[in-house]
Amino acid sequence: MMDDLAVLFDVFPYAIGAGLIIATVCSVLGVFVVLKRVVFIGIALTQTAAAGIALAFVLGAPPMIGATVLTLLTVTLLAYPYESRRIPRDAVLGSVYVFAAALSILIVSKSGFGLTEVQALLYGDLIVTSPRDFWVLLFSLGAVFICFLFFLRPILFSFLDRDQARVVGLNAGLWELLFFLLLGLAASGASKVGGSLLVFCYLTVPAMIGLSFANRLWTTMTISALVACLATITGIYVSYRSDLPTNQTIVVILCGLLIFTASYRIAMPRLRRLRHRLAGHK
């Protein structure tokens, strides 16, 4: 197995590097997505990015530009404080998702792309990451990650208690907007290589696993990133050995880990109670 991994790193260095970058950044941001209970923003943004990429291909523009522009416009809409309105944010997210999904299909249906190009556009493929894709990801998502860590404290304070943040002089709405802008940049940057399905998975599943095992923020983010990176390397290895689609393999592995985590969390308290009862009978 170690020899296979060595060959894998030698043959697909950019695919592995890109996968680890996307996994780390999206899984850490995903902790806040889950804590804020706006999970569907992940699928809405990634689908919007896919529509932007499709539009850019048709217009002959760089895919990254199309994804970024359309995603940031969407983020501005979604960052509005819907808590005070009758229409909840989830309803808006659902509308954005279905619109972006339908728009992507309409665009590619008139573009002349073949089935392979359409699948790569909508679902991505880590294994074909080019050196240019890798360096674009490294600089764009690296900048997002550094900015997020630098402003982590006010973002966290605004997320945990919006009213208290206002009392101490923080503009909670502004910091939430900054987070959603960073999230939009990460989603648009990652979607060309990762595709909407994998990026959405990174934004939700690792964070849920991390939150199942830790109460402290830094511990949760660390577990989330480690789980995402481990699943990425494992998924690339399994897909390489079994000739399976890479992105979907990673998603299945992450979801399998989530099922195992949930089963463990449910079973362990019952096993402890059973052990205590057996010990009491003795």
Model pLDDT for residues 191-227, shown as the tens digit of each residue: 878 877 888 899 999 999 999 888 888 999 999 999 9
At residue 253, does pLDDT exceed 80? yes
Q: Give the Cβ contact number of residue 93 at 10 Å.
A: 22
The tally of domains found in the chain comes to 1
Secondary structure of 234-277 in HEC code, one letter for each residue = HHHHHHHHHCCCHHHHHHHHHHHHHHHHHHHHHHHHHHHHHHHH
C-alpha 34/C-alpha 153 separation (Å) is 17
**Domain with 189 in it:** 2-281
Mean pLDDT over all residues of the chain? 80
What is residue 281's predicted lDDT score, i.e. its pLDDT? 56
Query: What number of residues does the chain have?
Result: 282
pLDDT above 60 for 121: no
Q: Who's near 179: CB < 8 A, 6+ residues apart?
A: 32, 148, 155, 159
Residue reference for tokens 């096993």: 271
| pLDDT tens, position by position, 83-120 | 556 666 677 777 877 888 787 777 767 665 554 555 56
At residue 53, the pLDDT reads: 77
266: domain CATH number is 1.10.3470.10
CB neighbour list of residue 251: distance below 8 Å, 6 or more residues apart: 197, 198, 201, 235
Q: Is the pLDDT of residue 244 over 80?
A: yes
Describe the crossing of helices 40-59 and 63-78 by its angle, rounded to 10 degrees.
Answer: 140
Interval 38-95: pLDDT, tens = 777 777 887 888 788 777 777 777 777 777 888 888 877 776 665 556 666 677 777 8
- b (16+ CB within 10 A) / e for 120-155: bbbbbbbbebeeebbebbeebbeebbeebeeebebb
